[in-house]
């Protein structure tokens, strides 16, 4: 029976992807599957040997017949492929200055082999695009200051960057052997690059089985290492079961934050020792710093209110300083020329309202008493203290 007497349906192996959200990797897989299904389709058709050369000529792709590696029959399309088609499974051919790619498939009946070439231009282009994408990602990952490790669904290390081996003091040669996550954790424990846990086995189990929890499982923990370093470790489970981990050394950042908090606590303790009410107001009109004397003044007038304050709140809480506070609001709202100024107020013993511009754009407010001559009186010790703080 001639081959063309069979019902023949040829599916195109070209893959069109107008959707920008389809990845190159996904298209490569789709193209490969299309070519594979097409090959299987023709393999299924070849239930017996082709009996007529005219059958080969009518096929829409290159086809040829071999016996003992000798071509005994072929169609005209085979001539475009050249001799490479006889020995290779994938070939490229220059057609009118354009490179065409083909995969070679075969079916054997006894000593006779029937071969045909399926066009796979789209698949090859997608494979090249995928390779360029992976190369770009590799370069990008290598420049990251944080460590990156990617494990597949079997928890085998598939990718890591140089920062990973540097931060965790791991030999890149050892990591290139693709250890699993369990082996990696054991290695980190040996080198004391893991935090101490009361139940290490349970912690390790939860970490290694994270992918089994859900497809969007998330892991985040601060590792305090024996050498004093602090590592922020985050993990994400991706579709298909792959897991990625990021290792960021936050030692310097945390040290700076701790020092900043200590300085803020020290400054707060210093201004709390001042007898005069003092506060600092930022460019948005929010009271960012205030001492206990200012709190006492506000609490007396606001029946114990201690919430975060704005200048608009102070207008209501300190009616005896209405003119001064309105001037302050205008200065903040319209960015008036920044200079120190003083106004009289009526807040009990506090008679003088002084505003001092700060280097960061905020404004420090001091309330002072008046001396017998009617001028503001502030002890030299308190002035020295304010100078030290600011």
Q: What is the pLDDT of residues 16-57, one digit of tens each?
A: 333 333 344 444 444 444 444 444 444 444 445 555 556 777
Write out the two tokens for 258: 């701790």
Least confident of 36-50, 88-102, 170-184, 203-217: 36-50
Question: What 3-state class would DSSP assign to 294?
Answer: helix
CA–CA separation, 290 and 183 (whole Å): 54
pLDDT at 179 over 70: yes
User: Could you tell me what percentage of the chain is helix, strand and coil, using 3-state DSSP and rounding each to the nearest 5?
Assistant: 40, 25, 30
pLDDT at 383 over 70: no
pLDDT at 97 over 90: no
pLDDT at 177 over 60: yes
**DSSP state for residue 201 in the 8-state scheme:** H
Q: Give the pLDDT of residue 52.
A: 53
* Averaged pLDDT, 84-90: 78
302-323: pLDDT as tens digits? 444 456 889 988 988 899 999 9
Instruction: Give the domains, in start order, of the chain with CATH numbers.
Output: 3-127 (no CATH), 145-253 (3.30.450.20), 261-389 (3.30.450.20)
**pTM greater than 0.85:** no
Least confident of 15-19, 96-100, 216-220: 15-19
Q: Which residues of 246-266 are buried (b: 16+ CB within 10 A; e: fewer)?
A: bbbbbbeeeeeeeeeeeeeee
CB 182 within 8 A of CB 204: yes
* Averaged pLDDT, 102-125: 86
pLDDT at 150 over 80: yes
Taking phi first (over 0 means left), then psi (-120 to 50 degrees means alpha), and beta for anything else, what does residue 206 get? Answer: alpha
Least confident of 104-113, 251-260, 322-331: 104-113
pLDDT at 265 over 80: yes
* Averaged pLDDT, 333-355: 86
Q: Give the pLDDT of residue 306.
A: 53
* Averaged pLDDT, 321-345: 85
CB 178 within 8 A of CB 158: yes
Question: What 3-state class would DSSP assign to 307?
Answer: coil
Question: What 3-state class would DSSP assign to 178?
Answer: coil
């Amino acid at each position: 029976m001639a081959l063309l007497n069979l019902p023949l349906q040829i599916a195109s192996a070209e893959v069109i992807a107008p959707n920008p959200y389809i990845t190159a990797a996904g298209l490569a897989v789709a193209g490969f599957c299309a070519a594979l299904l097409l090959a299987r389709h023709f393999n299924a058709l070849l239930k017996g040997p082709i009996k007529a050369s005219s059958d080969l000529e009518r096929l829409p792709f290159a086809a040829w017949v071999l016996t003992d590696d000798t071509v005994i029959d072929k169609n005209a399309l085979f001539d475009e492929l050249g001799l490479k088609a006889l020995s290779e499974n994938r070939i490229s051919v220059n057609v009118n200055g354009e490179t065409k790619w083909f995969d070679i498939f075969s079916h054997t009946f006894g000593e006779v082999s029937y071969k045909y070439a399926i066009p796979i231009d789209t698949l090859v282009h997608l494979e090249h695009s995928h390779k360029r994408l992976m190369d770009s990602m590799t370069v990008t990952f290598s420049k990251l200051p944080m460590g990156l490790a990617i494990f597949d669904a079997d928890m085998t290390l598939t990718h890591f960057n140089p920062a990973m081996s540097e931060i965790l003091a791991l030999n890149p040669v050892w990591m290139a052997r693709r250890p699993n996550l369990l082996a990696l954790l054991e290695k980190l424990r040996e080198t004391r690059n893991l935090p101490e846990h009361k139940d290490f086995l349970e912690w390790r189990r939860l970490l290694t089985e994270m992918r089994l929890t859900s497809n969007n499982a998330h892991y985040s923990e601060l590792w305090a290492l024996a050498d004093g370093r602090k590592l922020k470790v985050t993990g994400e489970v991706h579709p298909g079961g792959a897991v990625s981990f990021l290792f960021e050394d936050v030692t310097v950042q945390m040290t700076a934050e701790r020092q900043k908090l200590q300085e803020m606590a020290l400054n707060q303790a210093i201004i709390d020792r001042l007898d005069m009410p003092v506060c600092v107001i930022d460019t948005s009109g929010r009271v960012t710093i205030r001492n206990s004397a200012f709190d006492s003044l506000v609490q007396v007038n606001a029946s114990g209110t201690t919430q975060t304050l704005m200048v608009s709140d102070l207008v209501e809480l300190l009616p005896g300083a209405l003119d001064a506070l309105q001037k302050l609001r205008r200065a903040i709202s319209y960015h008036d020329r920044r200079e120190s100024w003083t106004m009289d107020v009526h807040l009990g013993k506090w008679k003088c309202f002084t505003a001092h511009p700060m280097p960061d754009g905020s404004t420090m407010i001091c309330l002072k008493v008046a001396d017998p001559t009617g001028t503001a009186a502030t002890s030299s010790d308190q002035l020295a203290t304010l100078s030290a703080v600011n």
